[in-house]
Structure 1
Amino acid sequence: MPASIYQRPKNAMQSGRARTDDWVLDFVPAEAKKPDPLMGWAGSGDTQQQVQLSFPDCDAAKAYADKYGIDVHVVPTPARRLKLQAYADNFR
C-alpha cells in the first residue's frame, strides 16, 4: 500500500495561506475507478483513497509511515517565487 507525502498547496481560490504548513499523507489508489451502472458516478471498492492524514511536519509523517510499514514517496515542496511589482510599474 504505497503512499505519498507532500505539503498542502495554497488554495487557488483565496489569497490566504491557512493550513499550508501541514504535511499530508495520501494513499495511492489500489484500483481504477469505474462508472456505476445505475447513476454513472465514478467509484471503486478501494477505501484507502478516502483516507488523508495531516501531520505538523514531514518527519512526523515519515515516522508514521515507518511505524506502520507504509511505502512512501516524499514530494518536495517547490520554492515560492514572489513577483513583486507596484502599481506604478504599469505606466513605465
Structure 2
Amino acid sequence: MAKWTPTHEAPEPLEGPVVATITGGTVLWFVLFLVQLPFYGWFDDHGRTWWLWTCLAGAGLGLIGIWYVRGRDAALKRAAAEQDESGTRTPE
C-alpha cells in the first residue's frame, strides 16, 4: 500500500478566545443538565435518561477541557515572552 503524502502545507491553526469558548460550552452543558433534571421521571418513563447523562458528561469533560486550554494558553504566553525576551536582549 502506498503511503499518502499531502501535496500542500497544513494551514495555521485558528487562534481565538479558546478558554472563553470552552468555558461557555461547559456552562451550557451543565445548564442543560440542570434544566432537564426536574423531568427525570419523564425521561425515565420514555427511555431517554441518556439525555441527562450526556449533558452531565459534557460538563465533566468540559472541566477537563478548561484545565487543558488554560495550561495551553499559559504555555503559549510563556513561550512568547521568552522569545520576546531573547529577541530584545543585547549580547554582553
Judge same fold: TM > 0.5, yes or no.
Answer: no
Name the TM-score, length of structure 1 as normaliser: 0.31
TM-score, normalisation: structure 2:
0.31
Of Structure 1 and Structure 2, the greater strand share is in: 1
Rg larger for: 2
